[in-house]
C-alpha cells in the first residue's frame, strides 16, 4: 500500500465537502468535478512529508483542485452547459437561478469567490490562480447575484458522496504507487501547457531559417 499522510482522515473530513463543491463550481460538470476532487485528495494523501501540517495540507489540496479543474478545460474545450443539461446530470442539489448565474462567471472569478467564501485569504488565492494579489481583488467584487453564497454552499458534497470518495481513495492507495502516478500526471499536464509555446518557438525558428536563407547571397 502506498504511503498516505498520517492525518489524512482528519483532513478529508474537514475539507471534502468544500473541495467537492469547488471542483463542481469550476468544471460545471459532475464527472469532471469527481475526477478533479479525487485526484486532489490523492495529491494531498501522497504528500512528500507524511506528517504534513494542516495549513500546508489545505493549501496543497485546494491548489491541486484549482489546477486540475483548469486542466479539465485545457485537455478539451467545454462550453457552458444549459440549465437543462446541468439538471440532467442528476446532481444532489438543484440548479437554481443564483447557482446557474454563478456558473456563468469566468473561471478565475468563480474560483476566487468560492475560495474566499471558504475562508482563504487573498494572498493564498493569488498563489492558487497564479496572479498578483492586486489582480485578485477585482475578482472578489460583488458579482451582483443575489444569494450566490447560498448557491455555493448548496453544492457542498453530501456525507454519502464523501464516504464513497474516501473508499475509492483508499482503494487507489492500496493498488499502486500514487506518488509516482501523481508525478507522471503532473509531467503530462506540464507538457500539455507548454506545447503551444513550443509550437510557436518551432514556427518562429522555421521562419527565421527561411528569412536567413533568403538573405544569403546567391
* DSSP assignments along 51-76, one per residue: T--HHHHHHHHHHHHHHHHHHHHHHS
**Predicted local confidence at residue 191, as pLDDT:** 41
Which tens digit of pLDDT belongs to each residue from 70-79? 988 766 677 8
**Predicted local confidence at residue 173, as pLDDT:** 86
Q: Which three cell numbers stand for residue 158?
A: 453530501
Q: How far apart are CA 69 and CA 28, in angstroms?
A: 10
- Dihedral class, residue 85 (left if φ above 0, else alpha if ψ from -120 to 50, else beta): alpha
**Predicted local confidence at residue 71, as pLDDT:** 87
Task: Kindly give the parts of the chain with pLDDT less than 50.
Answer: 1, 179-195, 197
Which tens digit of pLDDT belongs to each residue from 24-75? 999 999 999 999 999 999 999 998 888 999 999 999 999 999 999 998 876 6
**Predicted local confidence at residue 32, as pLDDT:** 92
**Predicted local confidence at residue 100, as pLDDT:** 97
Amino acid at each position: 500500500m502506498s504511503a498516505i499522510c498520517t492525518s489524512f482522515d482528519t483532513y478529508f473530513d474537514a475539507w471534502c465537502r468544500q473541495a467537492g463543491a469547488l471542483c463542481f463550481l469550476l468544471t460545471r460538470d459532475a464527472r469532471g468535478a469527481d475526477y478533479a476532487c479525487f485526484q486532489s485528495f490523492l495529491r494531498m494523501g501522497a504528500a512528500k512529508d507524511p506528517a504534513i501540517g494542516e495549513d500546508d495540507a489545505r493549501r496543497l489540496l485546494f491548489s491541486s483542485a484549482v489546477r486540475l479543474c483548469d486542466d479539465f478545460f485545457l485537455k478539451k474545450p467545454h462550453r457552458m452547459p444549459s440549465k437543462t443539461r446541468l439538471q440532467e446530470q442528476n446532481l444532489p442539489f438543484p440548479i437554481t437561478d443564483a447557482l446557474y448565474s454563478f456558473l456563468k462567471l469566468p473561471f478565475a472569478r468563480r474560483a476566487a469567490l468560492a475560495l474566499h467564501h471558504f475562508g482563504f485569504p487573498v494572498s493564498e488565492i493569488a498563489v492558487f490562480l497564479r496572479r498578483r494579489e492586486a489582480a485578485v481583488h477585482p475578482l472578489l467584487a460583488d458579482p451582483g447575484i443575489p444569494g450566490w453564497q447560498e448557491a455555493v454552499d448548496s453544492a457542498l458534497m453530501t456525507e454519502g458522496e464523501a464516504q464513497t470518495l474516501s473508499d475509492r481513495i483508499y482503494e487507489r492507495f492500496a493498488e499502486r504507487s500514487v506518488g509516482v502516478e501523481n508525478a507522471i500526471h503532473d509531467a503530462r499536464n506540464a507538457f500539455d501547457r507548454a506545447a503551444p509555446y513550443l509550437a510557436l518557438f518551432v514556427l518562429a525558428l522555421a521562419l527565421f531559417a527561411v528569412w536567413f536563407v533568403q538573405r544569403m547571397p546567391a
